[in-house]
Homo-oligomer: A and B are copies of this chain.
Amino acid sequence: MGNIHGHSFRIATFGESHGPALGVVIDGCPPRVPFDLAFLRSELARRRPGQSKLTTQRQEGDAPEILSGLSPDGLTLGSPIAIVIRNVDQRSSAYTEMKSAYRPSHADFTYDAKYGIRAVEGGGRSSARETAARVAAGALAKTVLKHACGATITAWVESVADIRMPAATKTPSLKQVEASPTRCPHPATAQRIEARIHAARADGDSVGGVICCVISGLPAGLGSPVFDRFEAELAKAMLSLPATKGFELGSGFAGTLLKGSEHNDVFVKKGGRIRTLTNRSGGTQGGITNGEDVVFRVAFKPTATVLKPQQTVGPDGKATSLSARGRHDPCVLPRAVPIVEAMAALVAVDHWIRDRGQNAPFGRCGRKA
């Protein structure tokens, strides 16, 4: 269970890291949205392994095949859209030691505890490979958002280990983010991060960090005040990603150091609508978007796979030593950027449709807008 996400824009993902394929079925996409296959491919390319020297050298073309849900001229039909991505470069032999030793801070032990069986090669559903399906669904969600209200989503690497870029005064552009393989838009910081990741790899070790993400252009009024707060569903979406350890909205943990009189966002009228002068709230109040940027941060732990020998036990409880041999990212942050964006897009579209109905953004019940 637990492989379906969303209330009104729902996705079901499937696929083991080292099985035949992975993919997603998207249920609840509004009809008459122009599906952008080139964009889908470019989003997958941003997440793909092997895209730079910073990432795992596993080679996956990640070529998506669309099995349903589109008209011959590429419009969504309002029916489920199934996307399949074949696995190509599975070197399972690298994982044979996983049968007899639980990798520390991996899900091997908990899978055995829960299921009494596991895909011993490559981590099964807990592999970062599963996120390719999320990025595919997120690409469509971004397209829907664009047509629905022009909203855009941008994430970037803000820190790796103790290297942190200066606070951004404005949201960086996609081009700025993509300028460095680190996906840190501050060139000097990016260089230092790059060096640190290389050092970690050389050392057989790994590093973590923080990704910042901004959703711009959402109207006020999305979300709801109790359990399904906009930020609550964002938090769930982010903590559903492998390796995440924390989530902050707006001022976050640092906001606990301020007084109320310092923290409150003053309302003003600006450009014909009600705005706030500051955005410590992070774009929502009472769980509902207020029309300002939704700003949040996600903490990623250092990759659990390290090439140094580690003490552990096997399923029988016997102590053993383990040295990973699989191909892995010494730092997941650069590749996690499009994944964070994808989950944010899925949450935003889901809330949009709850509010506006299944046939938004192109008019409702067959009445073309």
**Are A304 and B366 closer than 8 Å at their CB atoms?**
no
Q: Cβ of A113 and Cβ of B291 under 8 Å apart?
A: yes
8 A Cβ contacts from A64-99 to B: 65-71, 75, 77-82, 84
Interface magnitude class on chain A: 35 or more
Contact among B220, B262, B367, B368 with A110 in the assembled complex (CB-CB below 8 Å): B220
Task: Determine whether the beta carbon of A21 is less than 8 Å from that of B67.
Answer: yes
- Chain B nearest CB from A149 CB (Å) reads 10
- A-B contacts, 17 of them at CB < 8 A, read A3-B79, A8-B8, A8-B354, A19-B69, A20-B65, A23-B82, A102-B267, A107-B285, A107-B286, A116-B367, A200-B260, A208-B258, A220-B366, A239-B247, A253-B253, A355-B357, A357-B360
Bound: A220/B247 CA distance, A: 24
In the complex, how many angstroms separate the beta carbon of A161 from the nearest chain B beta carbon?
6
- State the number of copies, please: 4
Which residues of A, 180-226, contact B by the 8 Å Cβ criterion?
200, 205-210, 219-226
In angstroms, how far is the closest chain B Cβ from the Cβ of A304?
Answer: 6
Q: Decide yes or no whether A231 CB sits under 8 A from chain B.
A: yes
Is the C-beta of A173 less than 8 angstroms from some C-beta in chain B?
Answer: no
Q: How far is the CA of A357 from the CA of B360 in the complex (A)?
A: 9
Chain B residue at minimum C-beta to C-beta distance from A13: B226
A6 closest partner in B (C-beta): B227
Q: Is the CB of B245 within 8 A of A78?
A: no
A139 to chain B, nearest CB (A): 17
